Amino acid sequence: MVKKIERRSFLKSGAAVAGAALLSSVGSGSSQAASPADRSKVFFSKDLSYEGLLALYAKVNQGMTGKIGIKLHTGEPNGPNLLPIEFIKGLQAEIPNSNIVECNVLYPSPRQHADTHREVIKTNGFDFCAVDIMDENGDAMLPIAGMQEIIDAQGSGSGAVKLTEGEHYAEVAVGKNLLNYDSLLVYTHFKGHAMGGFGGSLKNIAIGCASGLVGKRMIHGDDWVRGPLFLERMVEAGKGIADHFGDNITYINVLKNISVDCDCDAHGVAPTCRDIGILASTDILAIDQASVDLVYNMPEEDRHDIVERIESRQGLHQLKHMKALGMGNADYELVQI
Q: How far is the CA of 259 from the CAs of 8, 150, 272, 299, 306, in angstroms?
A: 26, 35, 7, 16, 7
- Which element (helix H / strand E) includes 305? helix 300-312
The answer to whether 20 touches 306, Cβ cutoff 8 Å, is no
pLDDT tens readout for residues 140-165? 999 999 999 999 998 777 788 999 99
pLDDT tens-digit profile of 97-133? Answer: 999 999 998 878 888 899 999 999 999 999 999 999 9
Rounded distance between C-alpha atoms, residue 40 and residue 176, angstroms = 31
CA atoms within 13 A on the CB side of 11: 29
The rounded distance, in Å, linking the Cα atoms of 104 and 2 is 40
pLDDT at 23: 53
Distance of CA 275 to the CA centre of its chain: 17
277-281 and 249-255 beta bridge pairing: antiparallel
Residue type, 62: Q
Query: What is the DSSP code (8-state) at residue 271?
Result: P
Angle between helices 50-60 and 85-93 (to 10 degrees): 50
Q: Which residues contact 312 (CB under 8 A, 6 or more apart)?
A: 197
pLDDT value of position 38: 83
CB 247 within 8 A of CB 63: yes
Reported as a pLDDT band with limits 50, 70 and 90, residue 229 is very high
Interval 201-226: pLDDT, tens: 999 999 999 999 999 999 999 989 99
In this model, does residue 267 exceed pLDDT 80? no
pTM of structure? 0.90
Cβ count near 87 (within 10 Å): 23
Return the HEC string of 96-126.
Answer: CCEEEEECCCCCCCHHHCHHHHHHHHHHCCC
Average pLDDT along the chain: 89
pLDDT over 80 at 172, yes or no: yes
Q: Are 247 and 182 in contact (CB under 8 A)?
A: no
What is the structure's pLDDT at 317? 98
Q: What letter does residue 177 receive in the DSSP assignment? A: G
Residues 6+ apart with CB under 8 A from 196: 203, 230, 231, 234, 313, 315, 318
